[in-house]
Amino acid sequence: MQQNFLLKKEKLGEFLTALSKEAEVFVPSLNENNATCFLPYNSQELYLAERTQYSPKKILSPPLEKEFIFRKKSSSFEIEHLLDNKKRVFFGVRSCDTHAIKVLDKLYLEYFTEDKWYKAIREDLTIIALQCSKPCENGFCQSMGTDKPVGHDLLLVEKEKSFFVEIASERGEQLVKKYRDLFNQTNFTKPESKFKCSKELETTNLKEILDKNFFHKKWKQEAKKCLSCSSCTQVCPSCYCFLSFDKFILNTGDSERFRAWDSCQLKRFTRVSHDFFFRESRESRLRQFVMHKLSYFQENFGFPLCVGCGRCIMVCPVGIDLTEIASTIRGDSK
Amino acid sequence: MPKKLKAGFYSLACCEGCEIVMFDLEENFLKALDFVEIVDARLFNGKHPGEKLDIAIVEGCVESEVDKKHLLEIRERCKYLVAFGACATIIGIPGIRNALPKEIQKKLKRKAIIPVKDKAFPISAFVKVDALLQGCPAFTHEILDVFVKLYHGIVPKLEEVPVCSECRERENPCLLFEGIPCLGPVTYAGCKALCPSERAQCIGCRGFTEDGNFEALRKKFQEMGIPKKEIYNLFTYFNPDPFTKKMEEK
Amino acid sequence: MKELSLTTPALAEIVEVREDTKKIKTFTIKYVDRQKQKRFHFVPGKFLMVSVFGFGEMPISLSSSPLKTDSLQLTIKEVGVITHAMLQLKKGDKIGLRGPFGRGFPVARFRKKNVLFISGGCGMAPLRPVIYAIADRREEFGKLKLLYGCQNSDHLLFKEDLKKWGQTENLEVLLTVDKCTPDWKGNCGPVTTLFNKTEINPDNSIACIVGPPVMLHFVLKELKKHGFRDEQIYASLERLMHCGMGKCAHCNIAGKYACIDGPVFNGVDLAKMPLEEK
């Protein structure tokens, strides 16, 4: 019989301080510009009201990551791998973000071949999820079926003056065991959180409908507004596209290889020789984003890439809304 | 290994601030001196003026026949010409005069300066420019980068990425939601979103991207209630030429 | 072992450089690790991720005979920073190789059939191994025809090979150039103009296309006009991959990745793809 625990809210700080002594702990909090994002725990105030504006993606798949150092040795080269094996804990990850981590796991660890840079970071990562208790702005996780966390180690659910703690993995169990004196055993059952998402996206046959309406006029209309600023792909917790480039170290023959985030919203994304662009028009780039999220990815993995966090809707300066595009196209195809 | 690169620094019409920024490289400046020899520069006390160069770094824009002559002479002498800073790449501040009404422009004439068609020009209007170092002032990490690349025979190319991309990487909230007209969506990145990170709007000092959706951004500004005149001023602040015409029609 | 060769570049040495044209060179390369070279084999149409250390990594199609295992060849045209750096390399210089990646031409399925090759510019490089593979068992295949177009007569690749195959393998070669020069006696115009110069019969035939995106678009149209069905067409698509492992998504075309499901696609798949999203 699975044991459940309670963690009193006043003990939370103590718990996080203890954790940060043995690992890098990332918690949702405000940064210097008052944006909510995941920052290393340093006794700061936590932001637990709703999901953060920025996801913990940047820790799992950094915006700029050094892959190799190539050292020139007379006429040959010595190749050194740079792997990040630090121990990390994510605290207060929402359901949508745990699903985004699942997407990245599938892609980087299972699809075709595993990616060792991602694996190194992912291997020693503990995820402490936090159940949402109210709808967030623009979120539509219930429509995407991502409202129940996956792949986490512990699940916290807010219950009056404490957190109800559900153990979800062996790693989670070990963690509670280690800090047993901070947790109180309880006979309560998991509190149900009842709320309705602020947005909805009808997903039945969505892939087929979008595939059929590849040249729908809606794409052109939305593209007229689109600034191609790539904000949507940057904040998306499941956008994973990257590019790689080399850089010389000063005047030596040594060089480094980097991996950096790329975005399908930028023209250069599909450049090939002789400056030919496959997706040159804004319309085609915007379509690529929406189609990849709701249709293309599903073909290979069986579930959509979009996790319904609504961050792309929230961040878009001109108000382009993925759910609105999908529902307009669905409405017209009836 | 190739020999040291011979470099020269030149100033046309500008504040010479970009050249001063070289000192912000600090220890990297000394590292750069391992493979770059500054042969001709007023500020760095270059010892061999007039010599053939590998890299000529030119700041400032062309405002007079004197500037133009100087620039053409530099181009003759160098292998790579690098436009340094906003004035050289996109005219920048001196170019504000281009967007002014004709009668005010005439008053700006001074006796000592023989204007080229009453206007300020970026250096690319007269000579072939191999690489661009954007920004007002130019950015230190990019200067070193260009030196390293040219040393290894790579001619740096601009990547068309807007400032927003880097602003999101730095996890800033978007200024456009706070009613501040920010030119981030249409401006070249590379500055690591310096101004928006300090909650100041981007004023486009790194130049406008070719891909930018200016019409949509202008509409957004209008919706935000920014007066027409202010929108015009903002767009033409650093980038007068491409917009003077387009915006006047509106 | 498999994992290592895919994510980490393996050192390889350039043993020979041949200048094909002004901007195109063919490099003969051997892995530094002899065992690796011995195990190396590939299907025509596959590509390698080639690292020129300090300059970057790029996808390049293998252009040597798939039967030859003591070395491999890459034919590279100067188009950007990395290719420019590659063309400066000399005998003895080291590069890094990952792969081979992707899906090649299913040559075994072409057996007992006539094969029509259509190539533009550098597209001749990935087709060369296909012809080598067919030439090895020439008697098992039907008629061979090659339509090859390039910028001008200076840009023709593998002239000796084409001449040799014309004589020994009964390969019918039709050439065309985009820009006519006085010394050029052959056809002028894009590769599609060659369709009227020869008999194109879709019965029991296969068409293999490799060329720039614009050419592909028109050739597919022309083939349809001549009665080719989707399943008779194989085309290699040009995309700039950054990883080769289906992760970076630069080569994402609808639900497919050119680095895993391609770069050689069957016409049936091509028909479902938005090839030029203009």
pLDDT in tens, C185-236: 888 888 888 888 888 889 999 999 999 888 988 999 999 999 999 999 999 9
The answer to whether A68 and A80 have CB atoms below 8 angstroms apart is yes
Domain(s) labelled CATH 3.40.50.80 in chain C stretch across: 107-236
pLDDT in tens, C84-99: 999 999 999 999 999 8
Q: Identify the three-state secondary structure at position C211.
A: coil
CATH number of C107-236: 3.40.50.80
Which tokens in the block code for residue B203? 């004023």
A113 and A46 assigned to the same domain: yes
Which tokens in the block code for residue C255? 């639900």
CA-closest candidate to residue C81, choices A243, B155, A69, B160: B155
Side-chain-facing half-sphere of C198: CA atoms under 13 Å: 21
Place of tokens 């023959």: A253
Instruction: Please report the pLDDT score of residue B242 as a whole number.
Output: 63
**Does any domain span residue B19?**
yes
A180 and A214 assigned to the same domain: no
pLDDT in tens, A245-271: 999 998 888 999 999 999 999 999 999
Which tokens in the block code for residue B51? 């010599």
A213 and A181 assigned to the same domain: no
**Does any domain span residue A291?**
yes
Query: Cβ contacts (< 8 Å) between C88 and chain B: which residues?
Result: 153
CB contact under 8 A, B154 and C55: yes
Chain centre to alpha carbon of residue C93: 24
**Does any domain span residue A245?**
yes
B238 and B138 assigned to the same domain: no
**Does any domain span residue B186?**
yes
Mean pLDDT of the A181-205 span: 87
Q: 91-130 in C: which are within 8 Å (CB) of A?
A: 92-94, 96
Minimal Cα distance from B161: which residue of A?
A266
Instruction: Please report the pLDDT score of residue B250 as a whole number.
Output: 44
Number of domains chain A is built from: 2
- Show Cβ contacts of residue C86 under 8 Å, excluding neighbours closer than 6 positions: C27, C50, C52, C55, C76, C95
B134 and B169 assigned to the same domain: no
Minimal Cα distance from B197: which residue of A?
A33
**Does any domain span residue A270?**
yes
Which tokens in the block code for residue A264? 């399908």
**Predicted ipTM > 0.85:** yes
Query: Cβ contacts (< 8 Å) between A58 and chain B: which residues?
Result: 169, 171
Task: Decide which of B151, B176, B208 is a domain's last residue.
Answer: B151
* Biggest CA-to-CA distance, chain C: 55
B244 and B173 assigned to the same domain: yes
**Does any domain span residue B205?**
yes
A164 and A209 assigned to the same domain: no
Query: Predicted confidence band at C146 (pLDDT cuts at 50, 70, 90)?
Result: very high
**Does any domain span residue B157?**
no
- Show Cβ contacts of residue A31 under 8 Å, excluding neighbours closer than 6 positions: A37, A39, B171
B146 and B168 assigned to the same domain: no
A20 and A137 assigned to the same domain: yes
**Does any domain span residue B156?**
no
Q: Identify the three-state secondary structure at position C121.
A: helix
**Does any domain span residue B230?**
yes
Cβ atoms < 10 Å from Cβ of A84: 14
User: With an 8 Å Cβ cutoff, is C84 touching chain A?
Assistant: no
Q: Which of B152, B155, B157 sits opposite C54 (nearest CB)?
A: B152
Best mutation target among A118, A244, A263, A290 (most C Cβ atoms within 10 Å) is A244
The C-alpha atoms of residue C24 and residue C122 are separated, in whole angstroms, by 9
User: With an 8 Å Cβ cutoff, is A34 touching chain B?
Assistant: yes
B214 and B93 assigned to the same domain: no
Best mutation target among B150, B151, B154, B157 (most C Cβ atoms within 10 Å) is B154
Number of domains chain B is built from: 2
Q: Which residues pair with A156 in a beta bridge?
A: A130, A165
The C-alpha atoms of residue A98 and residue A196 are separated, in whole angstroms, by 19
The C-alpha atoms of residue C14 and residue C37 are separated, in whole angstroms, by 13
Minimal Cα distance from A312: which residue of B?
B168
B52 and B99 assigned to the same domain: yes
Instruction: Please report the pLDDT score of residue C2 as a whole number.
Output: 47
Instruction: Please report the pLDDT score of residue C278 as a whole number.
Output: 43
* Residue B146 to chain C, least CA–CA distance (Å): 14
**Does any domain span residue B158?**
no
Domain(s) labelled CATH 2.40.30.10 in chain C stretch across: 2-101
B138 and B213 assigned to the same domain: no
Chain centre to alpha carbon of residue B99: 17
Instruction: Please report the pLDDT score of residue B114 as a whole number.
Output: 67
Chain centre to alpha carbon of residue A165: 23
A48 and A154 assigned to the same domain: yes
In which domain, by residue range, is B192 found? 163-249
User: By CB neighbour count within 10 A (0-12 exposed, 13-18 middle, 19+ buried), where does A220 fall?
Assistant: middle
The C-alpha atoms of residue A181 and residue A198 are separated, in whole angstroms, by 39
B176 and B233 assigned to the same domain: yes
A208, containing H or E segment: helix A206-212
B29 and B130 assigned to the same domain: yes
CA-closest candidate to residue C78, choices C131, C27, C153: C27
CB contact under 8 A, B213 and A228: yes
B113 and B24 assigned to the same domain: yes
Taking chain B (250 residues) in runs of 10, the rounded mean pLDDT of each run is 83 89 87 90 79 91 89 93 92 82 71 69 91 90 91 90 94 93 94 93 92 91 92 87 54
CA-closest candidate to residue C194, choices C219, C214, C216: C219
A184 and A285 assigned to the same domain: no
The answer to whether C146 and C172 have CB atoms below 8 angstroms apart is yes
CB contact under 8 A, A250 and B149: no
* Residue A150 to chain C, least CA–CA distance (Å): 22
In which domain, by residue range, is A123 found? 1-59+74-193
Q: Which of C56, C213, C276 sits opposite A245 (nearest CB)?
A: C56
The C-alpha atoms of residue A292 and residue C176 are separated, in whole angstroms, by 40
Q: Which of A227, A248, A268 sits opposite B160 (nearest CB)?
A: A268
Side-chain-facing half-sphere of B230: CA atoms under 13 Å: 10
Radius of gyration of chain C (CA): 18
Instruction: Please report the pLDDT score of residue C156 as a whole number.
Output: 87
A42 and A121 assigned to the same domain: yes
The C-alpha atoms of residue C18 and residue C23 are separated, in whole angstroms, by 11
Contact partners for chain B, using 3 or more CB pairs closer than 8 A, are: A, C
CA-closest candidate to residue C40, choices C94, C96, C100, C92: C100
Q: 4-43 in C: which are within 8 Å (CB) of A?
A: 6-9, 11, 32
Least confident of A17-21, A245-249, A272-276, A293-297: A272-276
* Residue C252 to chain B, least CA–CA distance (Å): 20
Contact pairs from chain A to chain B, CB under 8 Å: 97
pLDDT in tens, A289-299: 999 999 999 98
**Does any domain span residue A30?**
yes
CA-closest candidate to residue B88, choices B49, B153, B135: B135
Mean pLDDT of the A84-95 span: 93
User: With an 8 Å Cβ cutoff, is B152 touching chain C?
Assistant: yes
Q: What is the pTM of this model?
A: 0.92
**Does any domain span residue A256?**
yes
The answer to whether B184 and B199 have CB atoms below 8 angstroms apart is no
Strands C47-52 and A76-81: unpaired
Provide the mean pLDDT of chain A.
91
Q: Which of A214, A243, A292 sits opposite C242 (nearest CB)?
A: A243
**Does any domain span residue A9?**
yes
Mean pLDDT of the C4-12 span: 83
Task: Decide which of B108, B123, B151 is a domain's last residue.
Answer: B151
B9 and B58 assigned to the same domain: yes
Minimal Cα distance from A264: which residue of B?
B161
**Sign of the four-CA dihedral B130, B132, B138, B143:** negative
Which tokens in the block code for residue B121? 């020009």
Query: Predicted confidence band at C1 (pLDDT cuts at 50, 70, 90)?
Result: very low
A42 and A93 assigned to the same domain: yes
Supply the DSSP symbol for B4: P
Task: Decide which of B97, B117, B151 is a domain's last residue.
Answer: B151
A7 and A150 assigned to the same domain: yes
Give percent of chain C above pLDDT 90.
54
**Does any domain span residue A66?**
no
A211 and A323 assigned to the same domain: yes
Domain covering C2-101: architecture:
Beta Barrel (2.40)
**Does any domain span residue A148?**
yes
Supply the DSSP symbol for A246: E
CA-closest candidate to residue A90, choices A125, A119, A62: A125
Instruction: Please report the pLDDT score of residue C3 as a whole number.
Output: 44
A207 and A187 assigned to the same domain: no
Supply the DSSP symbol for A182: G
B241 and B147 assigned to the same domain: no
What angle (nearest 5°) sits at the alpha carbon of residue B186, between those of residues A280 and C56? 60
Minimal Cα distance from B153: which residue of C?
C85
* Residue B116 to chain A, least CA–CA distance (Å): 35
Place of tokens 């539509």: A140
The C-alpha atoms of residue B210 and residue A46 are separated, in whole angstroms, by 42
Mean pLDDT of the A38-53 span: 92
